[in-house]
Chains A and B, each alone.
Chain A
Amino acid sequence: MSINPDQAIKFSPMHRLQWEEAQQKDVILYPEGMVELNQSSAEILKLCDGSRKPDQIIADLEQKFATTGLTNDITAFLEVALKNGWIQQN
């Protein structure tokens, strides 16, 4: 299972992405579990809304942070997210 570059990515309906005020962090919540996210991971996941393909996610983030060369880092994280079931395609 790996990321298909031609398909939009959406966040899994079986998980919840949420800002935690007390921890000053975004977290992923699921049955009896929680993953604390760093800022860059959270930024990537917030764009997984079912409307963007991987290329668009990368382009949007490079634009937002006025930088280039994020492709490898973002792709690697998306693979991890897919493997963990946090995101889906189709």
Chain B
Amino acid sequence: MAGSNKTSITPPRWLLAELTYACPLQCPYCSNPIDYANYQSELDTEDWKRVLTEARKMGAVQLGFSGGEPLTRKDLPELVKHAKNLGYYSNLITSGYGLTEEKIVELKEAGLDHIQVSIQASSQELNDHIAGTTSFRHKKEVAHLVKKHGYPMVLCVVIHRENIHQMPEILAMAEELGADYLELANTQYYGWAHANRDLLLPTKEQFEQAEQIAQAFKEKVAGKMKIYYVVPDFHEDRPKACMNGWGTTFLTIAPDGVALPCHSARDLPGLDCPNVKDYSIDQIWHESKAFNFFRGYEWMKEPCSSCDEKEKDFGGCRCQAYLLTGDMYAADPVCSKSPNHSVIQEAIDSAKASALSDHEKPLIFRNSKNSRRLS
């Protein structure tokens, strides 16, 4: 454990409130844990309000209402109103499923600052296939309504092998819908995406082509639309500075109240992630084992501990190190300095072989039945 001294701990600035694991969609790259169906309990309204109040007092200012599908929580407008009174900038991260004009107006009046709508692809057929739900037309309608009611509109498209060829059409759709921001999120391979990696991971050539198209578009729409490009780290040779450093900026609260330094951290062994029902946010942030575990640099092994880039990327992602090497203290294998770096090429090769195979296995969709089967 890092055991970094207490005075160097920075306050949380980003709070991700995962209100529920319930979701009408079944995206096979969902960032929720594979075993989400085992976590049935949800924090009640008063607990969420207390979490928001305590985190805000410490300095959290960006607030994401996420899930699952946060719209399935009946108390969402009440929580939005509470967040508004506390001075948060609140973001609703939604599939748009079940979002009506009436609800959009209600949330605006409650003080919601922005709505991010996810669309799975640029065509109805592929969108509805990936989402596992008929949703494409409604999502486009929601995007129009979000604009109509004066919210900044962020369109989020998760990119993977099934839709990467649609990059030009995805960009045209964002322009047509009048998105203020377009998030092109290359799939990060955790949880469900890890289970489906052979079917989702594009080739390097596909990435490079898509990136080139996105880059040209970025220049074309400069000043009108901002593009957030989440990099495909499997095709990089240095890891991402995951979570801006463990326990420095981000605080995620899972639906059952477990506090996580990142939304995949509940899969790491031995962290004993604390629950907000038992501790205050201040105690969790400063004193818990989980939040101190990878703070600072003392936990690092070689090649990270003597690396001159460790303050830039913090050794990369702990969850990725654990998933791909079985050792959560290891360097993120995305890094070309990692002794395990070959696992990345093996993953890329395996996905390519799968794409070329005559009988590719089917995608595992994210639903309760599959969750119970796999956990």
Contacts and interface: CB of A to CB of B under 8 A. Distances in A.
Interface residues of A, number: 17
Given A18-B87, A85-B226, A34 B62 contact: yes
B245 interface: no
B181 interface: yes
A83 B224 CA distance: 10
Interface in B1-27: 11, 13
B199 interface: no
Contacts of A85: 223, 226
Interface in B106-131: 113-114, 116
A32 interface: yes
A90 to B, nearest CB: 14
Contacts of B61: 18, 20, 27, 29, 34
Contacts of B87: 18
Contacts of B180: 14, 31
Contacts of B132: none
Nearest to B150: A13
Give the most central of A14, A16, A18: most B CB within 10 Å: A14
B91 A22 contact: no
B152 interface: yes
A31 B116 contact: yes
Contact of B154 (A1, A13, A29, A31): A31
B58 interface: yes
A68 interface: no
B58 A32 contact: no
A32 B223 contact: no
Contacts of B77: none
A77 interface: no
A76 to B, nearest CB: 18
Nearest to A15: B152
Interface string B24-58: 00000000000000000000000000000000011
Given A14-B180, A16-B89, A32 B226 contact: no
Nearest to B58: A22
Interface string B298-309: 000000000000
Contacts of B113: 16, 29, 31
A81 B150 CA distance: 21
A70 B2 CA distance: 46
A30 B152 contact: yes
Nearest to B87: A18
A23 interface: yes
B59 interface: yes
A23 B60 CA distance: 10
A31 B114 contact: yes
Contact of A22 (B11, B89, B181): B11
Interface of A: 1, 13-14, 16, 18, 20, 22-23, 27, 29-34, 83, 85
21 contacts: A13-B150, A14-B152, A16-B89, A16-B113, A18-B61, A18-B87, A18-B89, A20-B59, A22-B58, A27-B61, A29-B62, A30-B114, A30-B152, A31-B114, A31-B181, A32-B62, A32-B64, A32-B91, A32-B181, A34-B13, A34-B89
Given A1-B223, A20-B61, A31-B152, 17 more contacts: A13-B150, A14-B152, A16-B89, A18-B61, A18-B87, A22-B57, A22-B58, A22-B59, A23-B13, A27-B61, A29-B62, A30-B89, A31-B91, A31-B180, A32-B91, A34-B13, A83-B223
A-B pairs, 6 with minimum CB distance: A22-B59, A29-B89, A31-B114, A14-B152, A31-B154, A31-B152
